[in-house]
């Protein structure tokens, strides 16, 4: 796929592609240490992630720079037509999928892929025949392309969750926001998944610039409305209780990356069959 920017550069102040790439190279290392340290999708989680979330195994490694060839997967105008700019993200299944079954809920799983937890998550979803939406971090996608391919092969949706998960995301410059989205899109496609049409902001942190950039690349911003704060490891009972409160139309948030997600997995072993037994059906976004 040719390297190309959308044909309608709406912001002439954006730096050149060369500068953007330079920013990526220079910024990756500094961002990396913080990237997944706060890798949680709670609006209240900024800077509050436990220290162990920054363990090397969870973080982008500056020693493994993104393959320049991956840039060949940059979205082109043909692959991603600009979409209408939204003023708020999608909070409910039927906001995005009006024809979904009335009892539909969507499970979203963020911050992976993780070589430890994503295979367990995939096995669990397979066991209960549930399709989910994985909001993946580009640096992790690049490091674990096999998992990206497996997620897609299993019928799950892969969403763009930025390249290095910087927080607070809306505080980044317009150029940085765009680069985070474009780079993640590139490596996800390079890994073998369909080009994402969904974008989730780190921490659910939105701004007009984020919305405009997401629309520029033809993506829809997605949020959630059931948050068990599993990223903070509050205990399996807490996670279970919060998820069991799901109602038809809810978008549920969980994590398979960014730290120890064993509590999340343990909770879902109970929650997934229980929600199905309550009559809820799981859909991908």
State the residues that interact with Zn ion by CB under 5 A: 41, 110-111, 202
Taking the complex as a whole, how short is the minimal distance between the CB of residue 202 and Zn ion, in angstroms? 5
Q: Which is nearer to Zn ion, 110 or 178 (CB)?
A: 110
The 3-state DSSP class for residue 183 equals: helix
Q: 218 and 83 in contact (C-beta within 8 Å)?
A: yes
Q: Which is nearer to Zn ion, 60 or 100 (CB)?
A: 60
**Between 262-277 and 118-127, two packed helices, what is the crossing angle to 10 degrees?**
10
**Helix (DSSP H) and strand (DSSP E) numbers for the chain:** 9, 7
Q: Which is nearer to Zn ion, 222 or 271 (CB)?
A: 222
Buried/exposed 224-255: b ≥16 CB within 10 Å, e otherwise = bebbbbbbbbeebebbbebbeebebbbbbbbb
Residues belonging to the chain: 285
Phi and psi, residue 163, nearest 5°: -80, -45
Q: Which is nearer to Zn ion, 202 or 228 (CB)?
A: 202
Q: Which is nearer to Zn ion, 201 or 240 (CB)?
A: 201
Distance from C-alpha of 72 to C-alpha of 69, rounded to nearest angstrom: 6
Taking the complex as a whole, how short is the minimal distance between the CB of residue 107 and Zn ion, in angstroms? 15
Taking the complex as a whole, how short is the minimal distance between the CB of residue 231 and Zn ion, in angstroms? 8
Taking the complex as a whole, how short is the minimal distance between the CB of residue 78 and Zn ion, in angstroms? 29
Active site residues: 110, 255
Q: Which of 222, 247, 141, 235 is nearest to 184 (CA)?
A: 141
Distances from the Cα of 241 to the Cα of 36, 181, 238, angstroms: 26, 33, 5
Taking the complex as a whole, how short is the minimal distance between the CB of residue 165 and Zn ion, in angstroms? 6
């Amino acid at each position: 796929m040719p390297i190309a920017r959308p044909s309608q550069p709406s912001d002439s102040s954006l730096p050149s592609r060369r500068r953007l790439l330079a920013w990526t190279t220079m910024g990756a290392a500094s961002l990396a240490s913080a990237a997944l340290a706060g890798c949680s999708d709670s609006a209240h989680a900024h800077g509050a992630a436990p220290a162990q979330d920054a363990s090397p195994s969870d973080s982008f490694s500056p020693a493994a720079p993104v393959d320049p060839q991956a840039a060949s997967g940059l979205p082109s105008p043909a692959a991603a037509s600009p979409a209408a700019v939204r003023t708020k993200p999608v909070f409910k299944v039927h906001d995005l999928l009006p024809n979904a079954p009335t009892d539909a809920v969507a499970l979203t799983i963020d911050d992976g892929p993780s070589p430890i937890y994503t295979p367990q998550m995939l096995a669990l979803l397979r066991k209960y025949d549930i399709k989910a939406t994985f909001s993946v971090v580009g640096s992790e996608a690049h490091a674990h392309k096999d998992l990206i391919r497996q997620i897609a092969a299993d019928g799950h949706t892969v969403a763009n969750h930025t390249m290095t998960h910087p927080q607070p995301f809306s505080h980044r410059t317009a150029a940085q926001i765009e680069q985070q989205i474009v780079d993640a899109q590139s490596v996800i496609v390079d890994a073998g998944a369909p080009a994402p049409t969904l974008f989730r902001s780190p921490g659910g942190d939105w701004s007009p610039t984020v919305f405009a950039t997401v629309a520029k690349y033809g993506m829809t911003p997605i949020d959630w409305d059931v948050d068990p704060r599993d990223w903070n490891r509050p205990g399996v009972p807490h996670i279970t209780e919060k998820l069991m409160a799901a109602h038809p139309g809810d978008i549920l948030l969980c994590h398979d990356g960014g730290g120890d997600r064993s509590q999340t997995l343990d909770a879902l072993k109970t929650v997934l069959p229980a929600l199905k037994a309550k009559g809820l059906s799981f859909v991908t976004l």
